[in-house]
Amino acid sequence: MSRVLQNYGNQVTQGYHSSHHGIDLIGSHGGTDYVVAHSAGTVTAAVSGYGNRQGSSGMTAYGNYVDVTHTDGSFTRYAHLQYVSVSKGKKVNSGDVLGYMGNTGNSYGAHLHFEYWNASGVRSDPTPYIDADLPGLNSSTTANSSKAKAEKETKDITKVVVKSVEGSTAQHSTGNLTDTKMLSAGVEILIQNGDKIMLPCVKDDITLESHRKGSPAVLKFSCVKDSNLNFQEGNAVSLRVNKANVFYGYIFEKKHSSDMPVIQVTCYDQLRYFKNKDTYIYTNKKYSDLIRMLVGDFHLALGTIEDTGYPMSRAEETTLFDICGNASDETVLNTGKVLVQTTW
Ligand SMILES: [Zn+2]
């Protein structure tokens, strides 16, 4: 468990001492992770553009870093980030992603350097607060809620389990998953393969897990194999509960049971792909062209996207989120137009 890393617990690699006024952390699996805000506040520094500067001192030693100032005037600092994904002035909640762990500034291997500065501007050892509220910033409202709070933090997943849905054998029709004619009450899963929509016979539980904000949701179900059911990895899937669309994503994996005519299916929403790291080198493409290219490469659905003008050439090796973000920033800088991203 960690309040400063998104997916892993923290492993402290260097504690607080007279010449190190913070603590160094890596993920409990020994690697890097997204760095998240320890507590709610406002981003008061978001510094990027630094590479590795071993041996440097002063502010450049921090490399790329973010400060989050909390309601009592204290702040937390997150340093050596590979990249920063927030900008100054942004309000963040506890757990919101600030950037990705890195090796910028005076750093010898990717880690997070985390500092706590009290309201008087004095640093102290953040170790006691690493998985707890900062002093004087108790976000709990009732006296005995610390246990409940701890439980909430370890289970930072909302899981919806739909118990044993009884489906009928697969039916199929032609249309689109967004077609309202397809809606009926109850719980149903629809799969679209080409122009065919199938309603598979779902067996046992349907689980929908959604992690923190900005993380992909995972939908898992099993369905009975029959002659009408024909779908592939990559097909679009929708889960509807009482006519409301609660999940829309893509089939990521299909597993067949050896002894039963049952297929276990795992689906992710589109965000999953945008967390992938990839290398994209492109020349003379507009931001809108880039989005079309990524969406095409990952077989994602795209709404309408306006021509953004301003062709650019870039080489990127990072997450799709950042590939898009960087292209968007460059376009905004050069056209003065603020881009509104279409929902995907
Ligand atoms: Zn450090």
pLDDT in tens, 141-163: 333 334 444 433 333 334 555 54
pLDDT interval class at 335 (50, 70, 90): confident
What is the sign, positive or negative, of the torsion defined by CA atoms of 305, 334, 272, 92? negative
Answer whether residue 138 shows pLDDT above 80: no
Q: Nearest-CA neighbor of 288 among 304, 274, 272, 271?
A: 304
pLDDT recorded at residue 46: 92
pLDDT interval class at 98 (50, 70, 90): very high
Separation of first and last alpha carbons in the chain = 31
pLDDT recorded at residue 215: 56
CA of 23 relative to ligand 1 center, distance in Å: 5
CA of 20 relative to ligand 1 center, distance in Å: 6
pLDDT recorded at residue 148: 41
For residue range 242-255, what is the model confidence (pLDDT) as tens digits? 767 777 788 878 88
CA of 56 relative to ligand 1 center, distance in Å: 13
Residues whose CB is less than 8 angstroms from the CB of residue 306 and which lie 6 or more positions away in sequence, other chains included: 288
CA of 114 relative to ligand 1 center, distance in Å: 7
103-107, 156-160, 264-268, 300-304: the lowest-pLDDT one: 156-160
Alpha helices, H only, the chain: 145-154, 271-274, 287-297, 320-335
Burial 63-80 (b: 16+ CB within 10 A, else e): bbbbbbbbeeebbbbbbb
Instruction: Output the pTM of the full model.
Output: 0.44
CA of 235 relative to ligand 1 center, distance in Å: 46
Residues whose CB is less than 8 angstroms from the CB of residue 118 and which lie 6 or more positions away in sequence, other chains included: 74, 124, 135
pLDDT interval class at 139 (50, 70, 90): low
12-26, 31-45, 171-185: the lowest-pLDDT one: 171-185
CA of 259 relative to ligand 1 center, distance in Å: 54
Give percent above pLDDT 70 in the chain: 76
Hunting for tokens 């762990």 — which residue is that? 101
CA of 24 relative to ligand 1 center, distance in Å: 5
**Rounded Cα distance, 329 and 339, in Å:** 9
Average pLDDT over residues 23-45: 91
Average pLDDT over residues 198-205: 79
pLDDT recorded at residue 198: 82
CA of 329 relative to ligand 1 center, distance in Å: 30
